[in-house]
């Protein structure tokens, strides 16, 4: 009976973990399909409107620094529940965000919630499922990907349902965050195992070269993903796509990314050949961006290639700090640093590209920058592998 109870608790925990991860991208990707509408309605430039998806990503970097404080004060699991409430509340406020500053504040609050929840969830996975990191990261990645694809694909439908109100269409997604908070709170209540938390303050490994290499790797693939999802819809619209078709394009990209994000880490664990998947993923990302930059193929082809490529790179990037550390505290610390630097880089990139797009008035330069960045991924992973021999020394740094 005890075994059955523990199995039931484990399944509930996994389901709740999936529900949490479902909400860690919705506040960002739901903006993309209505970005042009928001820009038109609020009379914004591409540079200003690019802050809407970029602010949460920047926050995911900046506020990851406070992961240790949240862990020490509330414990990882309770802090995650609080983050979901923050995300849900800020998303609801978008229903009355008729001014730019309100919309920007909601992006800030959503970003703070995501920033804290991400590394805390990685630490929980490291502690509770140390022998099943690949599977759990797969579930985690699928949740984020599913949330991204659903929000990108259904926001236009919701807008039509609410009499063309993009405000209400964005606000509806807050329901999922509140429900996830309730489910997560139920999963962690009671029982000795569920009350376990990550204890003590988390010290970020600022002096660790390998940790910084992982951070840059994560930042580049993150920047490519958020830049692609930010600008691929408007690029498609400039090529004659309707807003509905452009939204579907983002959905396809996110759905493929989600699917690959589930299977790739499992295959990496099974085949024990991380680099093979990195090389393939980086190459597909490169080709997809190159085709989009010069309009050499349909945006559908580019979306599929980028989706598969990032679908491989993202979960592997998430696995890197978990594979390179020995304790849950270290896993959270490395993940927090990875987010701190990686998401600042990833969040800044769409803003810079928005400025480039305003100046150049074309999408070619935007995607050429992404092509060049994709070429940097291979040297980075080669450096991380070369530094493997120094892992023990690195852990002591």
Model's pTM, two decimal places? Answer: 0.71
Stretch 322-345: mean pLDDT: 79
Q: How far apart are CA 62 and CA 365, in angstroms?
A: 28
pLDDT for the residue numbered 77? 87
- Please answer whether residues 341 and 221 qualify as being in contact, where contact means their C-beta atoms are separated by less than 8 angstroms: no
Residue 172, token pair as written in the block? 């509806």
For residue 152, what is the domain's CATH number? 1.20.1250.20
Stretch 84-110: mean pLDDT: 91
Residue 213 placed within a domain: yes
Residue 86 placed within a domain: yes
pLDDT for the residue numbered 308? 95
pLDDT for the residue numbered 394? 41
For residue 332, give its domain range.
7-395
Residue 54, token pair as written in the block? 């970029």
Better-predicted residue by pLDDT, 132 or 3: 132
Residue 182, token pair as written in the block? 């309730």
Q: Cα–Cα–Cα angle for 328, 332, 334, nearest 5°?
A: 115
Residue 254 placed within a domain: yes
Backbone angles phi, psi at 298, to 5 degrees: -65, 145
Residue 67 placed within a domain: yes
Q: How far apart are CA 362 and CA 331, in angstroms?
A: 41
Give one word for 240, left, alpha or beta, with left for phi > 0 and alpha for psi -120 to 50. Answer: left
Residue 1 placed within a domain: no
Please spell the DSSP secondary structure of 122-133, one letter per residue. Answer: HHHHHHH-TT-H
Residue 2 placed within a domain: no
pLDDT for the residue numbered 216? 92
Residue 145 placed within a domain: yes
Q: How far apart are CA 373 and CA 388, in angstroms?
A: 24
Condensed to tens digits (0 to 9), the pLDDT of residues 57-87 reads: 788 778 877 877 787 788 888 899 999 999 9
- Please answer whether residues 26 and 147 qualify as being in contact, where contact means their C-beta atoms are separated by less than 8 angstroms: yes
Q: Which residues of 110-139 are buried (b: 16+ CB within 10 A; e: fewer)?
A: bbbbbbbbbbbbbbbbbbbbeeebbbbbbb
* Residue 227 burial (C-beta neighbours within 10 Å; 0-12, 13-18, 19+): buried
Condensed to tens digits (0 to 9), the pLDDT of residues 17-66 reads: 899 999 998 988 888 788 888 888 888 877 788 788 888 878 877 887 78
DSSP state of 25: S
Residue reference for tokens 């004659």: 240
Residues 6+ apart with CB under 8 A from 288: 301, 302, 303, 304, 305, 306, 309
**How many domains is the chain partitioned into structurally?**
1
Stretch 192-214: mean pLDDT: 66
Better-predicted residue by pLDDT, 254 or 178: 178
Q: Can you list the alpha helix ranges (DSSP code H) found in the chain?
A: 2-22, 26-29, 35-41, 46-49, 51-62, 67-74, 76-93, 100-128, 133-161, 166-171, 174-188, 209-238, 243-271, 274-293, 299-323, 328-360, 364-374, 377-386, 391-395
């Amino acid at each position: 009976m005890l075994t059955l109870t523990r199995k039931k608790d484990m399944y509930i925990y996994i389901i709740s973990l999936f529900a949490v991860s479902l909400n860690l991208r919705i506040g960002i990707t739901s903006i993309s399909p209505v970005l042009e509408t928001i820009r038109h309605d609020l009379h914004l430039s591409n540079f200003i409107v690019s802050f809407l998806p970029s602010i949460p990503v920047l926050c995911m970097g900046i506020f990851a620094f406070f992961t240790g404080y949240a862990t020490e004060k509330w414990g990882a699991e309770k802090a995650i529940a609080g983050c979901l409430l923050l995300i849900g509340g800020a998303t609801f406020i978008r229903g009355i965000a008729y001014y730019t500053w309100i919309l920007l504040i909601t992006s800030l609050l959503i970003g703070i919630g995501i920033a804290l929840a991400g590394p805390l969830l990685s630490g929980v996975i490291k502690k509770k499922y140390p022998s099943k990191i690949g599977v759990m990261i797969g579930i985690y990645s699928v949740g984020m990907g599913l949330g991204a694809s659903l929000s990108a694909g259904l926001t236009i439908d919701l807008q039509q349902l609410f009499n063309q109100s993009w405000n209400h269409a964005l606000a509806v997604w807050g329901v999922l965050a509140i429900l996830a908070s309730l489910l997560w709170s139920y999963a962690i209540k009671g029982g000795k195992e569920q009350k376990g938390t990550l204890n003590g303050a988390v010290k970020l490994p600022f002096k660790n070269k390998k940790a910084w290499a992982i951070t840059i790797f994560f930042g580049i693939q993150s920047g490519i993903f958020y830049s692609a999802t930010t600008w691929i819809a408007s690029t498609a619209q400039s090529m004659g796509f309707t807003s509905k078709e452009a939204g579907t394009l983002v959905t396809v990209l996110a759905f493929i990314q989600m699917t690959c994000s589930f299977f790739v880490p499992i295959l990496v664990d099974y085949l024990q050949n991380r680099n093979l998947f990195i090389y393939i993923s980086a190459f597909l990302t490169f080709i997809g961006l190159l085709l989009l930059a010069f309009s050499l193929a349909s945006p559908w082809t580019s979306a599929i290639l980028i989706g598969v490529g990032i679908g491989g790179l993202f979960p592997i990037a998430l696995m890197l700090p978990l594979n390179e550390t020995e304790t849950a505290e270290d896993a959270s610390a490395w993940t927090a640093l990875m987010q701190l630097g990686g998401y600042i880089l990833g969040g800044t990139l769409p803003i810079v590209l928005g400025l480039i797009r305003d100046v150049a008035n074309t999408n070619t330069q935007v995607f050429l920058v992404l092509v060049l960045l994709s070429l940097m991924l291979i040297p980075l992973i080669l450096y991380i592998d070369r530094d493997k021999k120094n892992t023990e020394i690195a852990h002591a740094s």
